[in-house]
Copies of this chain bind each other. A is one copy, B any other.
Amino acid sequence: MDSLTLIAVISIVMAGLTTGFGTMGPALAEGRAVATALTALAQQPDASATITRTLFVGLAMIESTAIYCFVVSMILIFANPFWNLAIAQSAGK
Residues of A within 8 A of B (CB): 1-48, 50-52, 54-59, 61-66, 68-70, 72-73, 75-78, 80-83, 85-87
Task: Check B2–A3 contact: CB distance below 8 A.
Answer: yes
Given contacts A8-B82, A21-B21, 7 further A-B contacts (CB under 8 A): A1-B3, A10-B13, A23-B26, A25-B26, A25-B28, A27-B65, A38-B55
> Among the interface residues A23, A50, A85, which one has the most CB atoms of the partner chain B within 10 A?
A23
Assembly stoichiometry (copies): 14
* Chain A contact surface mostly: helix
Q: List 29 A-B contacts (CB under 8 A).
A: A3-B4, A5-B6, A8-B85, A8-B86, A9-B10, A14-B15, A20-B72, A23-B66, A23-B69, A24-B24, A25-B27, A27-B28, A27-B66, A29-B31, A31-B62, A33-B34, A34-B62, A35-B37, A38-B39, A38-B40, A38-B54, A41-B50, A42-B51, A43-B43, A59-B61, A68-B70, A75-B77, A82-B83, A85-B87
